Amino acid sequence: MQALSVHTLKGTVQRVVVLQYPGLDTGASILVAPLYPASGLPELQGVTPRVNLDGEDHLIAV
């Protein structure tokens, strides 16, 4: 991914990545997916997106 927007859900420590693309009209909805530490979930090579945030690898649950 070239760019992503990560936010922490209010009242939790759960971080999510925004899955909103330029030109994709979703109306008033925002699509998000949770981020999990890469060590906490099994990874399917080539299927599970992996990102590095603050020096730590995370998987995007899709």
Domain boundaries, the chain: 6-60
pLDDT score for 49: 84
Structure tokens at 25: 């009209």
Q: What 8-state DSSP symbol labels residue 27?
A: T
Strand order in the sheet with 56-60: 6-8, 15-18, 32-37, 56-60, 50-53
- For residue 18, give both structure tokens: 């925004």
Looking at residue 3, its pLDDT comes to: 63
Q: What is the pLDDT of residues 4-62, one digit of tens each?
A: 789 999 999 989 998 877 777 888 888 888 998 888 777 777 777 888 888 988 888 87
pLDDT of the residue at 2: 56
Which residues touch 56 (CB under 8 Å, ≥6 apart)?
Answer: 37, 38
Give the C-alpha separation, 12 to 6, whole Å: 14
pLDDT on residue 32: 86
